[in-house]
Homo-oligomer: A and B are copies of this chain.
Amino acid sequence: MGDDLTLEDVRDLAEGAALLGTGGGGDPYIGRMLVERQLRAGRRIHVIGVDELPDDALVLPSAMMGAPTVFVEKLPSGDGNLAALRALERHLGRSAAATMPIECGGLNSMMPLLLAAQADLPVVDADGMGRAFPELQMETFAVYGVPGSPMSIASDHGDVGIVEAVDNRRMEHLARALTIQMGGAAYICDYPMDAATVRRTAIPGTLTLARRLGATLRRARQEHADPFAALSATLADTIYTHSRVLFAGKVIDVDRRTVDGFARGRVTLADAADDGDTLEIVFQNEHLVARRGGRVLAIVPDLICTLNSETGTPVTTEALSYGQRLTVFAISTPPIMRTPEALEVFGPAAFGLHEPYTPVEDLNQPARRRPRQGQMA
């Protein structure tokens, strides 16, 4: 990017990030409202590449933690965002040179932009998963040896905490407990690291990619083009090479609870022909696995996205509701997310799923029209 973000950039970025958020990462409308308010107040948001900082510059990633179902019921004011940054700076005795997202998501790609405006810091064009995951240890930073703590956590009411955990999983548990006590939503700064470490461990270019994907959807709508074909065309020359429509249908059931600080549940879609063909997606904030008639079509860490079938607008898990017409769109996760070390941290087993990880492109060979019962082969 290089230049300061415009209002249109922010809207595109929020929508594209919601797509990469794979059902999670928070509502894109809330995210962009917080950021647009800053731009309208005359503040600027400058995005820089991972190579633009000196090796020893301190980067403090930022995000919101909690169940996305809570964010839409109790809108975040954004006040705790700056408090979290200042608390971690004080604790470390150093000032941040930049902030960065830890994940892609409608809200969580926006929080670092908000912080950039609030604190007049640049935002690094990268993140720690190139999608969204529900737990703090599920980061490429963690996979490649970066401790997540010391981390800071703040509420909108002025409460602040610092967590120094023995490992990133303990950090998740301790911070989750604080988040629940803070009302189910909190602002965090975690994985403090220098720019050299960002270059070694982050997924580069995800803010740019999100903005491109959002722009793709916007243009497809303007041109009345197929949004899914347009997305696949944009993705093909990125590190998210493979993408495809897995299913198109109507939501016939949503089972969603806010438990343990997460939005957990499942959504079931029936196909338009209503011939008994259904697809079920299990989620924990984010979509984890899509099964059609019991057969896995896509599984974490590959991206499973639920989009409005007509407009391509991403629908996050907290917004799923009966009767929606959705297209389930799968995207292959970048290679850095598919290594054995990475799969140990955020592969299917990390979510209690029994199926092994199989790349989405292997699960879905090039489309062949399968014969219907009664038809000739």
Number of copies: 2
Number of A residues, CB within 8 Å of B: 21
A271 at the interface (CB under 8 A from B): no
Chain B hits for A162, CB < 8 A: 91, 161-162
Which of A4-12, A164-172, A231-239, A247-255 has 4 or more CB atoms under 8 Å from chain B?
A164-172
A159 at the interface (CB under 8 A from B): yes
A157 with B166, Cβ < 8 A, contacts A177-B178, A178-B177 known: yes
A61 to B232, CA, bound (A): 61
Chain B hits for A170, CB < 8 A: 157, 159
Identity of the chain B residue whose Cβ is nearest the Cβ of A159 in the assembled complex: B165
A272 at the interface (CB under 8 A from B): no
A116 to chain B, nearest CB (A): 24
A176 to B182, CA, bound (A): 12
The answer, among B87, B164, B181, for a CB contact under 8 Å with A173, is: B181
Cβ-defined contact, A164 with B174, below 8 A:
no
Chain B hits for A177, CB < 8 A: 177-178, 180-181
A148 to chain B, nearest CB (A): 12
6 extra A-B contacts, CB within 8 A, seeds A176-B181, A177-B180: A91-B91, A91-B162, A160-B165, A161-B174, A161-B178, A177-B178
